[in-house]
Amino acid sequence: MDLLGPLTAELDELLADADAALAQHYPGERAGRQPVHTFYLPADRFHERAVHDLGREAAQVVREHAEEFRAVIDGDEDLADRVRAKLDREPIEDLRIDFEDGYGTPPDAQEDDAATAAGRALAVLLDDGAAPPFTGLRIRSFEAATRARGVRTLLLFLDALGRVPEGFVVTLPKVTAVEQVEAMAHVCERLEEHLGGRLQFEVQVETPQSVLGADGRVLLAPMVSAARGRLTGFHYGTYDYSAACGIAAGQQALDHPAADHAKAVMQVAAAGTGVRLSDGSTNRLPVGDQLVPGWQEHLRLVRRSLERGFYQGWDLHPAQLPTRYAATYRYFRDGFATAAERLGTYVRREESSVLDEPATARALSDFVVRGLDCGALDESEVVGATGLQTETLWAMARRPVRGA
């Protein structure tokens, strides 16, 4: 054993660079709560009452079509009550004010005015305590033709807003090169010199070039490093990505094999980095005679995303909010009893027909914590079923800090 000390010291020296790189590139889960969705609202529809109005519309469609909604969720009254309470309490978790595809291409003066008005409106919401927990805006891409417009809109918006709020994220769309991510990090640094605060951004994965470069390299992993700690998430862009891959309009969907491939690459590239994942949107809206089919499809697709480890997605219409929360709540409530039992068995080191390892216990804890974060689970029932305090669950899930 006399060799143990010197040999260990030699290994520490040999692996010092690898240890430092691992800690730098794979810091683990990002601190705080992850929203279950991002609601994209065109900038010309955003105003001081917009969040309130969207929540009212969502609650109204459930109220006016209560029988149809109950049928879609298989008559689960507890689930219906939880969805209604969520729509009253917090109808939107993450709001993205859209200055890109959903907004169009108005004259520059008009977009200037809209950017200023949107920044002022968000400032009012924040001051009144009426803003969603997470907010941000989507600018135009950093392709040569649109980058100046995108930066101008961002600067005007932030000048009018007068701060960088907690949970604020800028969405960079149609990324085609790692250099665009580096450029976005540079923009954030320069704007912070002007405004203060801390700016972060997310990358929309909606071009094949963002997944696979011309030299055959997967570019998503280098993008994480290129962002210099400012990248919060990869968001899949359903329709731009599908169209760029040559998929016909009728087959463009979240569950297309091409979509699954892109999202699998996103998942591997983001794992352990603190960069979160979001699935995209479905444009089959639950309106008119498509209300029930739209609800059914949205419910199915949200559940499918959750089962594949995508805990966030896009919503485009207030009538999608009821099924967003119904699918999310049902997913966590369906799996809670088993997760709680397995966690209790693991902590007490009891014999079981399932042999859970530390990594699985971490995943079980993360599942429960996510259920708590979004409101699908109540703290009292979690403590009662697991025998564990929520702080212990957070530690087991390796979450750095609890909070929004």
Token pair 């359903």 in the structure block, residue: 238
- DSSP assignment string, 297-351: HHHHHHHHHHHTT---EEE-SGGGHHHHHHHHHHHHHHHHHHHHHHHHHHHHT--
pLDDT class of 403 with cuts at 50, 70, 90: very low
pLDDT class of 387 with cuts at 50, 70, 90: confident
- DSSP assignment string, 145-196: TTHHHHHHHHHHHHHHH-S--TTEEEEE-S---HHHHHHHHHHHHHHHHHH-
Mean pLDDT of 3-29: 91
* Euclidean distance between CA atoms 321 and 81, whole angstroms: 14
Query: What is the rounded average pLDDT for all residues in the chain?
Result: 93
* Euclidean distance between CA atoms 95 and 76, whole angstroms: 28
pLDDT of 315-353, one tens digit each? 999 999 999 999 999 999 999 999 988 888 877 776 666
* Euclidean distance between CA atoms 367 and 373, whole angstroms: 10
pLDDT of 344 reads 80
pLDDT class of 356 with cuts at 50, 70, 90: low
> How would you classify residue 74: left for phi > 0, otherwise alpha for psi between -120 and 50, otherwise beta?
left
Calculate what percentage of the chain has a pLDDT beyond 90: 84
* Euclidean distance between CA atoms 298 and 200, whole angstroms: 29
Closest listed residue to residue 312, CA positions, set 36, 93, 91, 34? 36
Query: Which CATH superfamily hosts domain 30-318?
Result: Phosphoenolpyruvate-binding domains (3.20.20.60)
The token pair at 388 is 């564990």
As a residue count, the chain comes to 404
Residues 6+ apart with CB under 8 A from 133: 33, 35, 90, 93, 94, 167, 404
pLDDT class of 87 with cuts at 50, 70, 90: very high
pLDDT of 350 reads 63
pLDDT of 269 reads 96
Mean pLDDT of 105-116: 97
The token pair at 167 is 């949970």
Of 104-118, 127-141, 184-198, 390-404, the poorest mean pLDDT is in 390-404
Q: Identify the DSSP state of 74.
A: T
The CATH 3.20.20.60 domain(s) of the chain lie at 30-318
The token pair at 144 is 């040569």
* Euclidean distance between CA atoms 26 and 270, whole angstroms: 9
pLDDT of 55 reads 97
pLDDT of 362-386, one tens digit each? 899 999 999 999 999 999 999 888 8
pLDDT of 136-154, one tens digit each? 999 999 999 999 999 999 9
pLDDT of 355 reads 61
CB 282 within 8 A of CB 319: no
CB 100 within 8 A of CB 142: no
Look at residue 116 and give its three-state secondary structure. helix
pLDDT class of 30 with cuts at 50, 70, 90: confident
Task: Encode burial over 26-51: b for 16+ CB neighbours within 10 A, e otherwise.
Answer: eeebbebbbbbbbbbbbbbebbbebb
pLDDT of 313 reads 98
CB 325 within 8 A of CB 72: no
* Euclidean distance between CA atoms 334 and 78, whole angstroms: 13
Q: Kind and range of the H or E element at 40? A: strand 37-42
pLDDT class of 402 with cuts at 50, 70, 90: very low
Calculate what percentage of the chain has a pLDDT beyond 70: 97
The token pair at 55 is 């929540």
pLDDT class of 31 with cuts at 50, 70, 90: confident
Estimate the share of the chain in helix, then strand, then coil, as percent rounded to the nearest 5: 55, 10, 35
Q: pTM of the predicted model, to two decimals?
A: 0.93
Mean pLDDT of 115-132: 97
Does residue 93 surpass a pLDDT of 80?
Answer: yes
* Euclidean distance between CA atoms 140 and 152, whole angstroms: 10
pLDDT of 398 reads 76
Does residue 82 surpass a pLDDT of 50?
Answer: yes
Residues 6+ apart with CB under 8 A from 156: 112, 115, 116, 119
Does residue 245 surpass a pLDDT of 90?
Answer: yes
How many CB atoms are closer than 10 A to CB 342?
Answer: 18
Mean pLDDT of 226-234: 96
Does residue 133 surpass a pLDDT of 70?
Answer: yes
Mean pLDDT of 60-69: 98
**52 or 360: which leads in pLDDT:** 52
* Euclidean distance between CA atoms 206 and 204, whole angstroms: 6
- For residue 333, the one-letter residue type is R
pLDDT of 289-301, one tens digit each? 999 999 999 999 9
